[in-house]
Amino acid sequence: MELEDTQAAPAQKPGAPGFTPDRTATVDGRARATPIGIPAGSQLGHFKIVRQLGAGGMGEVYLATDLALDRPVAIKVLPDELGRDARRRDRLIREARAQARVAHPNVAHMYFIGEEEDRLYFAMEYVAGNTLAERIAKGPMSVEAALDVIRGAALGLREAQRNGFTHRDVKPSNLMIDGHGVLKVLDFGLAAGEAGIGVSGPVAQTSLAGTPLYMAPEQARGEAVDHRADIYALGATLFHLVAGKPPFEADSVDELLSLHATAVRPALPRRGQPRTQIGAIDALCTKMMAPDPADRFESYDDLLRAVELASIVHTRPAGFWARSVAMLLDFVLITIIVTLGEAAVSAITGVGVRSNMPIIIPVLAIYNALATARWGRTAGKALIELEIVDVQTGARPAMPQAIRRSLAIFGLPILVGTIDFVLAVSGMSVDADIAGVATFLMMLGGLGLLLYAALRVSAKRAFWDRAVGTVVRYRR
Query: Which residues form the catalytic set?
Result: 169
At a CB cut-off of 8 Å and minimum separation 6, what does 349 contact?
A: none
Contacts 24+ apart (CB under 8 A), 40-44: 43/67, 44/75, 44/77, 44/114, 44/116, 44/119, 44/121
Contact criterion met (CB below 8 Å) for 396 and 387: yes
- How far is 76 from 110, CA to CA, in rounded Å? 11
Q: Are strands 110-116 and 129-131 parallel, antiparallel or unpaired?
A: unpaired
- How far is 172 from 97, CA to CA, in rounded Å? 25
Contact criterion met (CB below 8 Å) for 227 and 163: no
| C-alpha distance from residue 468 to each of 399, 445, 456 (Å) | 12, 20, 19
Neighbours of 274 (CB within 10 A): 13
Q: Side chain identity at 290, as an amino acid letter? A: A
